[in-house]
Amino acid sequence: MKNIQAVAADRLPALLCQMPKAELHIHIEGSLEPELIFALAQRNGLSLPYPSVEALRAAYAFTNLQSFLDIYYAGASVLLHEADFYDMAWAYFERAAADNVVHTELFFDPQTHTARGVGMGTVVNGLHRACVDAQARLGISASLIMCFLRHLRQQEALETLEQALPYRDKIIGVGLDSGEVGNPPEKFAEVFTRCRALGLHLVAHAGEEGPPAYIWAALDVLKVERIDHGVQSSKDPALMQRLAKERVALTVCPLSNLKLCVFPDLAQHNLRELLDAGLAVTINSDDPAYFGGYMNDNFTQTFAALGLNAQHAYTLARNSFEASFIDAAAKQRHIAQLDACFDAFQ
């Protein structure tokens, strides 16, 4: 790891914003801003149960994951046509570019849409076209990870996988999201085994609200390559040792954890503890339209609350590239640019 010289506290936010970074945990439906929800509702002739953008935003007061998911699935109901999925992803890419995100791996929840009669092709083609344009017009590389909703049955996940097979070349991996507690990873063992045989990358949300046992099961039963969230791992010293030894990346989302009351305030977030224990921690936005911030907001607020420094910034950005599903040459290119950014700053 590169040796990073100290940066004065007043210059640190600029470094955090300027440094190139990868985002590995963003639910694209969670990037739908209230303004876009209203615009899409109008375009599609739908009415919303909120009188205004302000009233919708005012409803974003969550007490836990489920209280958020209820409103998040309602927001996604305005997405009907390929252009809607394209416009949603494009709006995210413009924000990502402004935050110097140079690579991103987007989660999407097809079951939220296919359950409403929207075709799998409509979802995947709209998102994929935006990914292609992000590379061409913004220089951001982007790929798609299809998530299964864990509050539904495994049989439905298997059917979703079947529907996605014609679009296999547009999807790099699969994940597992939605209500965690009561829906352990083991429930999805068979579908993940099939995805593995298809050569898909595997990730899963685990240890967001659920116990360390769910993280063990995501690793040992689902055989995932990264853990999404994973903040509950600090309750289990043996798990911490394993995650550090195997360099299993955690895609941590500080503002999400704050808004969903996983931690009472950012100063009590355990990100620093996880980093200091040698875990491959990354910072991500999760559902930025709902949690009050995109990538750079997550970085600057977390650094201020936890008193993190330039060495932490370098480690987090470097981890984001190393934990990504890009090839070794692309990783080296991004890390060289990261090094150049730090050299220029010091």
Q: Annotated catalytic sites, by residue?
A: 208
Binding mask 307-326 for ligand ADE (x = CB under 6 A): --------------------
Q: Is 27 in the site for ligand ADE (CB under 6 A)?
A: yes
Of 40, 177, 222, 283, which one interacts with ligand ADE (CB under 6 A)?
A: 177
Task: Tell me, rounded to whole angstroms, the distance of Cα 282 from its chain centroid.
Answer: 10
Residue 29 binds Zn ion (CB under 5 A): no
Shortest gap between Cβ of 25 and ligand ADE (angstroms)? 8
Sign of CA dihedral 112, 114, 118, 120: positive
Q: Does 84 bind Zn ion (CB under 5 A)?
A: no
- What does the alpha-carbon distance between residue 70 and residue 72 come to, in Å, rounded to a whole number? 6
Q: Is 23 in the site for Zn ion (CB under 5 A)?
A: no
Q: Which of 19, 22, 56, 65 binds ligand ADE (CB under 6 A)?
A: 65
Burial-class residue 61 by CB neighbours within 10 Å (0-12, 13-18, 19+): exposed
Interacting residues of 137 by C-beta distance below 8 A, sequence separation 6+: none
Instruction: Determine whether 304 is exposed, middle or buried from the number of CB atoms within 10 Å of its CB (0-12, 13-18, 19+).
Output: middle
In this structure, what DSSP letter does residue 309 have? -
C-alpha closest to that of 217 among 255, 173, 186, 176: 186
Closer Cβ to ligand ADE, 15 or 224, answer by number: 224
Residue 286 touches ligand ADE, criterion: CB under 6 A: yes
Residue 109 as a binder of Zn ion (CB under 5 A): the answer is no
Binding piece for Zn ion, criterion CB under 5 A, among 10-18, 89-97, 217-225, 283-291: 283-291
Stretch that binds Zn ion, among 123-131, 143-151, 279-287, 299-307 (CB under 5 A): 279-287
**Is 30 a binder of ligand ADE (CB under 6 A)?**
yes
* Shortest Cβ 37–ligand ADE spacing (Å): 15
- Considering the complex, state which of residue 18 and residue 66 has its C-beta at the smaller distance from ligand ADE: 66
Could you tell me the smallest distance in angstroms from the CB atom of residue 19 to Zn ion?
A: 23
CA distance 248 to 258: 23
Q: How many CA atoms lie within 13 A of 243 on its CB side?
A: 34
Least separation in angstroms between residue 128's CB and Zn ion is 21
Contact of residue 33 among ligand ADE, Zn ion, none (CB under 5-8 Å per partner type): none
| Nearer to ligand ADE among residue 82 and residue 109 (C-beta) | 109
Contact 24, 280 (CB under 8 A): no
CB of 204 to ligand ADE, least distance (A): 10
Nearer of residues 256 and 315 to ligand ADE, judged by Cβ: 256
**CA Rg, the chain, in Å?**
19
Instruction: Please say which residue, 50 or 68, places its beta carbon nearer to Zn ion.
Output: 68
> Judged by CB, which is closer to ligand ADE: 102, or 144?
144
Q: Which of residues 209-268 bind ligand ADE (CB under 6 A)?
A: 256
Regarding 205 and contact with ligand ADE (CB under 6 A), the answer is: yes
Q: Are 212 and 236 in contact (CB under 8 A)?
A: yes
Alpha-carbon gap, residue 295 to 288, rounded angstroms = 8
Element (H, E) at 334: helix 328-345
Give me the least distance between CB of 345 and ligand ADE, in Å please: 32
Separation in Å, CA 11 to CA 16, 17, 283, 309, 346: 9, 10, 20, 11, 10
Q: How far is CA 290 from CA 125, 130, 177, in A?
A: 25, 21, 16
CB of 287 to ligand ADE, least distance (A): 5
Which residues here bind Zn ion, judged by CB under 5 A? 286
Which residues here bind ligand ADE, judged by CB under 6 A? 27, 30, 65, 72, 177-178, 205, 208, 256, 286-287
